Amino acid sequence: MLGNGIIETTTTTGTGDLTTAAVTGRPRFTDKFTANATEASASHFYYAILTNDATPQFIESGIGYMSATGTLKRAVVLSTYASSVYTDVGATAVSLAAGAKNVICTGECGSAYGLAMPGQDNSLSALRYAYS
């Protein structure tokens, strides 16, 4: 699903769930996507993590959802850029270092090819299959 204009920040470290914070004047993930207790009942969306500086650099993209506690769960990591290496096959969550990062809701190029489109199987298992 697409949530235009959504941007939040995170200072989460490591590879786990992201605790996000609002950016003034911008919509939040929970404005568009309902927080759910289980992955199966959640609304999934594409996300990207970027550095929070004058020239934002890509860190990670994937498919996530909002947990019941309001954290962003990184359900499927699609691509990463860490230590000057881009990975989009078998990507795993980047271990985030200390410091603020931007987390945005993005479209995924796969949706232009019929993935995650209305009227189709948009379940996480279908999305995982499409990217395996």
- Going from the first residue of the chain to its last (132 residues), give the mean pLDDT of each consecutive group of 10, the final group possibly shorter: 82 96 93 83 90 90 91 94 92 95 80 44 51 47
CA distances in angstroms from 43 to 32, 33, 57, 89, listed in the order given: 9, 6, 27, 24
In this prediction, residue 119 carries a pLDDT of: 47
In this prediction, residue 99 carries a pLDDT of: 95
Q: Which residues contact 32 (CB under 8 A, 6 or more apart)?
A: 1, 3, 6, 43, 45, 105
In this prediction, residue 4 carries a pLDDT of: 76
For residue 101, the SS3 value is strand
In this prediction, residue 68 carries a pLDDT of: 87
In this prediction, residue 111 carries a pLDDT of: 46
In this prediction, residue 117 carries a pLDDT of: 42
Take residue 78 and report the two structure tokens written for it: 């699609």
In this prediction, residue 120 carries a pLDDT of: 46
